[in-house]
Amino acid sequence: MTDKTRPVLLTGASGNLGRALAPALTAAGYTLRLTDIAPFPDAVPGGAAFTKADLNDGPTILRLAEGCQAILHFGGISTEHPFEVVLGPNLRGLFHIYEAARREKARVLFASSNHAIGFHERPAGNGELLDADCAFRPDSFYGLSKAYGELMGRLYWDKHGVENLNLRIGSSFPEPADARMLSTWLSYADLARCMEKFLEAPRIGHAVVWGASKNPATYWGKDHRDRIGWEPQDTAEAFREKVGTKVSGDPVTERYQGGGYTAMDYTRATPSPKDQFSLD
């Protein structure tokens, strides 16, 4: 698909992942339109322009997307907050993104999250990994908004033919911080490689990809990465000696794939069943 004469809109540009992607993608030759509700804290890379904007402002999002070949949507509330806080940027804001993509015939990369499926239990070490077509089991209002975002992508593909890739990011930081991240870590370099492959892919449709580096301890199995030809190159194993014993000690946190998000405001007396519709 790549046409480097057409710009790419990157939302959430002032966040940690946006700040990592902006210089990587401009260095690869892409013209970027950067936007965030917060000022861009770094020098704006050559080949990019920054506009301060609120995702709730539909007309501004439409204007920023004019002529764009793709939208890399990393904007919105990125951690757990009360529902009313999450509602505007993560639900209404995403609608504005997809409406802009529909009008411009642009494809969308949605920065989804493992928290959309966080109440799936961690693998028992028997080789059974969670595939990308698993049921949503959000662990928070934030995770719920990510499940909503993936379903919006499904709607806009089925109804309008808007191609979209939902990247279920595990834990994207400079390095893993604890034992859980040996399974979920996504390096900044692997994230940037994924964005380039997404922009280059001739055909995507509606796809879900696990956003993690090449971690042997992964929780996750099959996905649609073959559609973009992405193969992570980094691994969390390089950090095992440093963080392998760092665990929370909380049984809820350690039981589920979503980690600490599952334990926030948790009030059950016993764990929920593995089968989401079971009474047992």
pLDDT (tens digit, 9 = 90+) per residue, 139-197? Answer: 999 999 999 999 999 999 999 999 999 999 999 999 999 999 999 999 999 999 999 99
Q: Count of CB atoms within 10 A of residue 274's CB? A: 10
pLDDT digits (tens, 9 = 90+) for 208-256: 999 999 999 999 999 999 999 999 999 999 999 999 999 999 999 999 9
The pLDDT, as a whole number, for residue 126 is 72
State mean pLDDT over 61-85. Answer: 96
Q: What is the pTM of this model?
A: 0.96
2 has a pLDDT exceeding 90 = no
Cα–Cα dist 238/128, whole Å: 24
Q: Please report, for the chain, the start and end positions of each structural domain, with discontinuous segments joined by +.
A: 8-263
DSSP annotation of 185 reads B
Say whether pLDDT at 1 is over 80: no
123 burial level (CB within 10 Å; 0-12, 13-18, 19+)? middle
Could you list the active site residues? 142
Percent of the chain with pLDDT over 90: 94
pLDDT surpassing 90 at residue 46: yes
How far apart are alpha carbons 6 and 100 in whole angstroms?
Answer: 15
62, 99 Cβ separation under 8 angstroms: yes
Q: Kindly tell me the number of DSSP H helices and DSSP E strands found in the chain.
A: 10, 7
Using only the alpha carbons of the chain, give its radius of gyration: 18
**pLDDT at residue 264 in the model:** 97
Give the distance from CA 5 to its chain's centroid: 26
Region 119-141: mean pLDDT is 93
Express the helix, strand and coil content of the chain in percent, nearest 5 each: 35, 15, 50
Do the Cβ atoms of 157 and 206 come closer than 8 Å?
Answer: yes
pLDDT attached to residue 96: 98
Residue 218 in tokens: 């992964």
- Average model confidence (pLDDT) for the chain? 96
Query: Which residue did the predictor score with more confidence, 126 or 13?
Result: 13
Strands ordered across the beta sheet of 8-11: 48-52, 32-36, 8-11, 70-73, 107-113, 164-169, 206-211
The amino acid at residue 124 is A
Please report which residue ranges of the chain form alpha helices under DSSP H. Answer: 16-27, 58-65, 83-86, 93-104, 141-160, 181-184, 188-200, 240-243, 251-255, 260-263
Q: What is the CATH number assigned to the segment(s) 8-263?
A: 3.40.50.720
Q: Kindly tell me if the per-residue pLDDT of 68 is higher than 70.
A: yes
